Chain A
């Protein structure tokens, strides 16, 4: 029956959304895990990824190239920021300084984007080879969204395996648990932090490149995203990689169902969810406490 196909389409819709959210939230949670700070600029980093991706796409004519270029470029920007500015704050007693500094970065990057790319939304649309629909149970489903789901799942598995098996991954987990010990054992913890910060930014940028064909690159796309990412990280637990996956899926479902059934309140629903979670568990559901 068509009804079943419709539900499936909605689920796939939600999963494709979850994919993009996952890239952002995963980056945010990894950064938190390693540095105990919430990168407030993460939403703007996502936006920067979308814009850089657009330019890369236009310049090289290839979407796939932009998928690589944007994360690399933005990752480097992130690393530069961490190395030159954020690092200075590590001794501070006042945790508020990180908040303010990453906030300042958000403002500065936001303005830079406006100056470089202008105020008009930019979008090259969905690349040709990913256009079209796939028929699933009599329902047409965009190919691009399937691509997003596939990429998201692949990335999740890859990162999971990396954290579990690969030596650098183990190092990252060790540093998030006890950085002093790791430092005492001879590892350059600073370098790990820089690398993870860069990686987290790269992931968010990737999310931006992937999102741009759907929503276009526009100013302000970062603000709601950073709140979404924060809600996800809160639900899944600050610093928990698994939590970022679960949280992304949950939030995506809420957003998609909400947009369909409570159209007008869709936005409010997100905030209500966040409120609910923060009311019940001010520290998150899984993972490390703040």
Chain B
């Protein structure tokens, strides 16, 4: 069908992309994909539950530092280290999710921010372990298991990240189209009604926060392994801000929109920062403009145009997935 075709074409295009661009662009490509993954993880909260997290940097930072710290003690092969880092992030996310979901709206946002700030402060408190403001450097990528080491080269790592991104996207897409995902749509649209229907919405929200942290942690771990270092900046509120901007401008509630938002953000940032010092200001302003005039984001606009054209041509729109456009 339409979606499958689009997916395969995109996957194929991304697969051959490294050969079409100069070598030095590969670094930015990898960073872009990682940030796309990070942004998509936040979309689960913002786009599908309307839970605005101002502290999603915590997920990223947790993933990155977990990976780094694991490797300082145990020289695990890369895939194992990343999986373990994600597991650690998820475990830490559970009490965070439990506490944050006690409230909604602003209180939720503040609590998530507070946890990110707490993480930031903890890094400085335990600076013997975390390296304080210098962070952790020289983080390796170990080969294995079975001596597999194709991901140690930049090109190889690109394919690893690509696989993680596409795999995560497929997972997230399945989740939002599942019975679970349908309940998220209910929570988003009218939580009181969803509770009255018999759903324990708190449990659903906690699960979604944990999932969002999981995917965010994956992005963080991939980043730490790629860049080779982890710094406190990863927990800073502006990191949370950037990813939130990517989600909103890209198109909340579409999964694809935030991925594109993250990817374009990295490219634009790279290009613009060479030209002007004003780019964060520009992004902030663009963000506010979208919040006011185009809250459905770029991908939201594009897909709604496409969908209304489809409806006019009379095709079957009854197969809409529960929740927003995917």
- Name A residues whose Cβ lies closer than 8 Å to a Cβ of B: 38, 40, 85, 88-89, 94-97, 99-101, 103-108, 110-112, 115, 223-224, 227, 230, 234, 264-265, 267-268, 271, 274-275, 278-279, 282, 290
Q: In the bound complex, do residue B291 and residue A104 qualify as a contact, i.e. CB atoms below 8 Å apart? A: yes
For the complex, is B113 an interface residue (Cβ under 8 Å from A)?
yes
Q: In the bound complex, do residue A111 and residue B281 qualify as a contact, i.e. CB atoms below 8 Å apart? A: yes
Residues of B within 8 A of A290 (CB): 105-107
| Cross-chain pairs A/B with CB under 8 angstroms, 27 sampled | A38-B106, A40-B106, A88-B292, A96-B50, A99-B106, A100-B248, A101-B291, A101-B292, A103-B241, A104-B245, A104-B285, A105-B288, A106-B241, A107-B238, A108-B281, A108-B288, A111-B281, A112-B281, A115-B277, A115-B281, A230-B110, A234-B107, A268-B121, A268-B125, A271-B117, A279-B99, A290-B106
Residues of B within 8 A of A105 (CB): 288
Main secondary structure, interface of B, reads helix
Q: Which residue of A lies closest to B241 (CB)?
A: A107
- Name B residues whose Cβ lies closer than 8 Å to a Cβ of A: 50, 52, 54, 99, 102-103, 105-107, 109-111, 113-115, 117-118, 121-122, 125, 237-238, 241, 244-245, 248, 277-278, 280-281, 283-285, 287-288, 291-292, 295
Q: In the bound complex, do residue A104 and residue B284 qualify as a contact, i.e. CB atoms below 8 Å apart? A: yes
Q: In the bound complex, do residue B110 and residue A227 qualify as a contact, i.e. CB atoms below 8 Å apart? A: yes
Query: Shortest CB–CB separation between residue B89 and chain A, in angstroms?
Result: 19
Picked from A104, A267, A282, the residue with its CB within 8 Å of the CB of B107 is: A282
Residues of A within 8 A of B109 (CB): 40, 99
Query: Shortest CB–CB separation between residue A244 and chain B, in angstroms?
Result: 16
A-B contact sample (9 more), CB < 8 A, given A111-B278, A271-B118: A40-B109, A96-B50, A99-B106, A100-B244, A100-B248, A264-B125, A278-B111, A279-B99, A290-B106
8 nearest CB pairs, A to B: A104-B288, A108-B284, A107-B284, A111-B281, A267-B121, A38-B106, A100-B291, A111-B280
Q: In the bound complex, do residue A94 and residue B50 qualify as a contact, i.e. CB atoms below 8 Å apart? A: yes
> With contacts A107-B284, A108-B281, A115-B278 known, is A97 near B291, CB below 8 A?
yes
Residues of B within 8 A of A40 (CB): 54, 106, 109
Residues of A within 8 A of B106 (CB): 38, 40, 99, 230, 290
Q: In the bound complex, do residue B105 and residue A282 qualify as a contact, i.e. CB atoms below 8 Å apart? A: no
